[in-house]
Amino acid sequence: MPHHWKSLFLLLLQLLNLCSTKSQPFTSSSSSSSNPHLQFPCKPPHHSSYPFCNNSLPIPTRAQSLISLLTLQEKIQQLSNSASAIPRLGIPPYEWWSESLHGIATNGPGVSFNGTIPSATSFPQVIVTAAAFNRTLWFSVGAAIAVEARAMYNFGQAGLTFWAPNINIFRDPRWGRGQETPGEDPMVASAYAVEFVKGFQGGGIRDGGLGARRVLESDESGDSLMLSACCKHFTAYDLESWRNFSRYSFNAVVSEQDLEDTYQPPFRSCIQQGKASCLMCSYNAVNGVPACAQKDLLDKARNEWGFKGYITSDCDAVATVFEYQNYTKSPEDAVADVLKAGTDIDCGTYLLRNTLSTIKQGKVQEEDIDKALLNLFSVQLRLGLFNGDPRKGKFGSLGAQDVCTSEHKTLALEAARQGIVLLKNDKKFLPLKRGVDFSLAVIGPLANNSSLLGGDYTGIPCNPKSPFEGLQEYSTRTSYVAGCQDVPCLSDAGFEKAIYAAKKADFVVIVVGIDASQEREDHDRVSLLLPGKQMALVSSVAAASKEPVILVLAGGGPLDVTFAKEDLRIASILWIGYPGEAGGRALAEVIFGDFNPGGRLPMTWYPESFTNVPMNDMNMRADPSLGYPGRTYRFYTGDRIYGFGHGLSYSSFTYNIVSAPKKLSLSKPFKVDLSRNVLHQPGDVLDHLHIDEVTSCESLRFLVEIAVKNNGDMDGGHSVMLFSRVPKVVKGVPVRQLIGFNRVYTFSNQYTTASILVDPCTHLSFADEHGERILPLGEHVLMVGDIQHFVSVEIN
């Protein structure tokens, strides 16, 4: 087994063993090193005899028992992220809000690094990990973060409920939080959600094609949780602050078609396959109704998708219903609307301050609060919060020794390696040769500051390395010049030193891009160009360098780097995004050929002219009559700098579809509603079926076997991406859509086989104008690379 894949396989097994739900003895060493002041409910001898402490009883029974013991005021005090203590029952306060997007983060009051555990592994930002297109990696990262989170909980430095992942669609390249997401494709976002949540919550099955298959379920019912993950932000949330539009008051006008096949699939998958135990409703309104007050939206999650957990508002999103969106006439009306819609808890204090008066006005009943508390306490019970001393429980032995481990730091490095995308490599300029004594100039405002390379929702990393520090390990004669004082780069005062360094060096690496000054929560970009005078810095240095330069781009959002793409003096372009604590090392390994890059862009890189498209227009489909180009690779009809899925390697690859059906037959009987399949003209034949009319979805599934040949001299990982193009039977058909992907390890000048399971009812369907999924009849085209395969879907 190749070195990098073997290491990932071994890491996965170690993580699975750490997450094993076998009871671990409470040893004296663990008790002496853990927090002696850790508070927990059901503490003997005075508070352990309540029925809600009896873990032999069903969870609903225990939760109802607890609710029955509370006064109305005590109930209301539980409706905030900072839930109050109930001293008479021995229940300490609980903080629901902890963050773990790509490692334990400092955002939110639930996490503290001021204690025995001073740091935690900082993995690459989600957009970078997504670029690996590797499900096993996603699961492993979630599992590793979970181990560190549970260890920090044991020391009183974190909670058990974490508000990640962010699975909104990266709809607009200017969005400041696109970096936090798995990208623009709903299938990728769905897959990421499932893997991360399963890994993080400590349940499910992981079969990543590496031979690892292990069940991590806590019990046969699957009720128990190691930790709670939260899918956010539900739904159609992807605007922070653009012109006069703010996330706090924005009304996302979304068609039923786009809701069904773009915005909602990641949340449906996160709930149905990932079994997430938390859902966060977003600030924005959807078609005129605030998300946290939209009963039909939240009911869909619970009743149609089977959501089993609690629903939290985004922070102060209950207050915004009245204060910003002016949706209600009073605070009490806002409280009534969100509670009756199904929101269980307020990240904030609005429910604390206004629920009692809402009850007094008769706008909600105490039973409405009880419903919310049942969901909240049920999740806490599933987490074992009422099972006594957690240090004597299943995960009680986890401690400081399980945080920032060599295994986790290696996993962070592997994630950064796999996520780096090689955008350009003229004349095979990279990799540079190791062992040759040459000088290297590293230039740019992002080259020597590892703190800028974490992205949103970052904690305190274990052992971060900047690109400059990583490259120093490969070349002893390495120098650094900033060129720009900072990322905004408003002055060219440092250019002279940068140009001088470039003239003196044998090779030059320029590290530029964007950081939190340009994109972050509550801040969208206005331009897709490099900030300030960065472009001038790159061009000036490239013109002065002896050899063509290597350009490294940091940041989450797409950049219009047309100038660099077309400049012959810029031989290679690498995108590193926000690569986390191991990003500097990973970049150096790629530049010097110790790792063969295989990342692919999970989002389209648009030209600067795209900034003329209104950011508040939520339509995915293009409308030529209005000059609207559409969004994401599935519907966008305009020019692009680099496309979704673009990514080079030091090898080249060719494909051959070895096995796939040429015909799929739908056998009668199926449930055709003729009123929904109106023929356009006399003599027309049925051209599509609604998915709910197909009675044999499972029997239609098929495997596509793809032979992948590595035609280069280097082994390396490669993500095989299978797309489809469906017959144009109704308005709004995607240009193409991803239907499967599989990262495989390839050997130089050898074939490797990749298998992708296709479910026609899911992958070959899309939504019609009414928001109903349809399966077109006729000839579908499967595409991998430049190879096409035709599959005819017919009715017998």
For residue 714, the 8-state DSSP code is S
What is the residue type of 417? R
Q: What is the dihedral of CA 284, 288, 292, 295, to 10 degrees?
A: -150
Distance CA(47)–CA(326), nearest Å, equals: 45
> Between β-strands 507-513 and 549-554, what pairing exists: parallel, antiparallel or unpaired?
parallel
With a CB cutoff of 8 Å and minimum separation 6, the contacts of 773 are 260, 261, 690, 691, 692, 761, 765, 766, 767
Give CA separation, 125 vs 128, 197, 406, 456, 575, in Å. 6, 16, 20, 8, 13
For the residues of 112-178, what is the DSSP string, one character each?
--SSS------PPPHHHHHTT--HHHHHHHHHHHHHHHHHHHHTTSS-SBB---B-----STT-TTG
Neighbours of 377 (CB within 10 A): 24
Is residue 492 part of the annotated active site? The answer reads no
Instruction: Count Cβ atoms within 10 A of the Cβ of residue 441 and give its class: 0-12 exposed, 13-18 middle, 19 or more buried.
Output: buried
Complete edge-to-edge strand list for the sheet that includes strand 310-313: 230-234, 278-281, 310-313
What is the residue type of 301? A
Angle at 499 between CA 497 and CA 504, to 5 degrees: 95
Give CA separation, 118 vs 157, 411, 421, in Å. 10, 20, 32
Token digits of residue 673: 């509603």
Place of tokens 């096949």: 261
Q: Where are the beta strands (DSSP E) in 391-520?
A: 421-425, 440-443, 478-481, 507-513
Angle at 286 between CA 281 and CA 290, to 5 degrees: 55
Distance CA(161)–CA(379), nearest Å, equals: 9
Token digits of residue 791: 């599959």
Complete edge-to-edge strand list for the sheet that includes strand 773-776: 688-690, 773-776, 766-767
What is the residue type of 284? N
Distance CA(719)–CA(558), nearest Å, equals: 21
For residue 746, the 8-state DSSP code is E
Q: Let me know: does 791 contact 664? Beta carbons within 8 Å.
A: yes
Q: Which of 185, 261, 314, 456 is catalytic?
A: 314
Token digits of residue 465: 């390395």
Instruction: Count Cβ atoms within 10 A of the Cβ of residue 381 and give its class: 0-12 exposed, 13-18 middle, 19 or more buried.
Output: buried
Active-site residue list? 314
